[in-house]
Amino acid sequence: MTATPVLDVGGSHVTAALVDPAVWRTVPGSRRRVALDADAPAKRLIATIATALATLGPLTGTRAGVAIPGPFDYASGVGDFQGVGKFAALRGVDVGAALTGALNAPPDSFVFLNDAAAFGLGEHRCGALAGCRRGVGLTLGTGVGSAFVADGTVLTSGTGVPPQGRVDLLTIRGRPLEQVVGRRAILAHHHRLTGCSAGGVDVDVADLTALARAGDRGATAALYAPMNALGLALGPWLAAFEAEILVLGGGIAAALDLIEAPLRTGLTWAHPGLGELPIRRSADPEQSIEVGAAWSAALGR
């Protein structure tokens, strides 16, 4: 069976890979990563994305799955980026048509989907959500992405599903969730608690997790409150959705040993029945996004 080409478009790089649909795994050695400037003009952004995909060879007789963050009109392939700090030049751009032209590809060569949705689909196909009837995938990084997966389908409405299936649209204590939970929020909270960046230099969440593991109280507190708030906001939805498992991806998920306790405390405060809900870190979040994109391409949606 022909391998499926996929793209994972992020804020700092784009990754191209081939997925083997016979086993739903990324083909070993096929992954290529190309640096991407999210503030670049549209022409350069399209050229960079096309360059990454071209490393996989010509598109002949197979669709490519493209996982890309929102806001984006996934059905039409048109960007709707505004106010998110990246890809502003792609607002109103028909990315599908632009890539088709840049690569001299056949019509309808691309299927677009949200990167968090791709993560959830991939986890259902080859990860922690496999065998689960209902589960939720969260990507924790610059922001919060979500996928509410039921019987292999990502839902955007229904019982227990937040508006558009997006946890980032939720609020906690009157504030948008991403202003409390995302990377910038965690770093800002650390600065408020300590009055300075760790060591007097700029730090990222990975630095805070290292400090927390070393016993730094400020770093520990900076992680605790946001993850506790995430649990409080998410708990009622997980309970109503009857989720069997919560799987985490994204950079912050690497600190599961530090964030699981406050996250679970928040979930339990929101709904006592979630005290035993399995919380897992994705074994290979990059592969999950790639497999989810390939699965969506195979379905043609």
SS3 assignment, position 27: coil
Nearest to 170 by CA among 159, 181, 183: 181
Question: Does the structure show a pLDDT above 90 at 73?
Answer: yes
Looking at per-residue confidence, does 49 or 183 come out higher? 49
Over residues 210-235, the pLDDT tens digits come to: 988 999 888 898 889 899 999 999 99
One-letter identity of residue 289: I
The pLDDT, as a whole number, for residue 207 is 86
Contact 160, 150 (CB under 8 A): no
In angstroms, rounded to a whole number, what is the distance separating the alpha carbons of residues 292 and 287? 8
- For 11, which DSSP code? S
Domain ranges of the chain: 4-117+287-299, 129-282
pLDDT of amino acid 82: 72
Q: Tell me the two tokens of residue 169.
A: 């649209």
Please give the residue that has the higher pLDDT: either 13 or 65: 65
Q: In the prediction, which pLDDT does 206 show?
A: 85
| pLDDT at res. 106 | 87
pLDDT tops 80 at residue 201: no
Query: Who wins on pLDDT, 273 or 2?
Result: 273
Q: Quick one: DSSP state of residue 74?
A: T
pLDDT, tens digit, 9 for 90 and up, residues 92-146? 999 999 999 999 998 889 999 999 999 999 999 999 999 999 999 999 987 899 9
Quote the pLDDT of residue 28. Answer: 95
User: What pLDDT is attached to residue 11?
Assistant: 79
Closest to 129 (Cα-Cα) out of 19, 278, 255, 264: 278
Amino acid letter, residue 233: A
Q: How far is CA 170 from CA 112, 138, 157, 262, in A?
A: 24, 14, 14, 19
What is the rounded distance in angstroms from the CA atom of residue 211 to the CA atom of residue 221?
11
Q: How confident is the model at residue 10 (pLDDT cuts 50, 70, 90)?
A: confident
117 phi and psi angles, rounded to 5 deg: -65, -40
pLDDT of amino acid 200: 47
Q: Residue 91: beta bridge partners?
A: 79
User: Which comes out higher in pLDDT, residue 195 or 219?
Assistant: 219
* Confidence category of residue 81, pLDDT binned at 50, 70, 90: confident
Q: Which residue type, as a one-letter code, is found at position 49?
A: I
Omega before 71 within 30 of 0, i.e. cis = yes
4-117+287-299 under CATH 3.30.420.40, yes or no: yes
The answer to whether the beta carbons of residues 20 and 126 sit under 8 Å apart is: no
- Asked if residues 205 and 187 have their Cβ atoms less than 8 Å apart, the reply is yes
Owner of token pair 């520990």: 220
- Where would I find the H helices in the chain? 42-54, 95-103, 115-126, 178-181, 183-194, 205-213, 217-241, 256-270, 285-299
- 64-68 and 110-114 as β-strands: parallel, antiparallel, unpaired? parallel
51 CB neighbour count, 10 Å cutoff = 16
CATH superfamily assigned to domain 129-282: ATPase, nucleotide binding domain (3.30.420.40)
Would you say the CATH fold of 129-282 matches that of 4-117+287-299? Answer: yes
- Tokens standing for residue 50: 């096309």
Predicted confidence (pLDDT) at residue 277 exceeds the cutoff of 70: yes
Instruction: Give the model's pLDDT for residue 1.
Output: 55
What is the share, in percent, of the chain residues with pLDDT greater than 90?
65
Would you state the pLDDT for residue 153?
Answer: 95
Say if residues 201 and 225 touch (Cβ distance below 8 Å).
no
State yes or no: pLDDT of 299 exceeds 90. no
pLDDT for position 199: 46
Q: Supply the DSSP symbol for 94.
A: B
Residues 194 and 112: their CA atoms lie apart, in Å, by 42
pLDDT in tens, 134-172: 999 999 987 899 999 999 999 999 999 999 999 999 998
Contact by Cβ (8 Å): 27, 291: no
- What's the mean pLDDT in 75-89? 83
Average pLDDT, the chain: 90
- Per-residue confidence (pLDDT) for residue 107, from 0 to 100: 84
Q: Please state whether 243 falls in left (phi above 0), alpha (psi between -120 and 50) or beta.
A: beta
Residue 198 has pLDDT above 50, yes or no: no
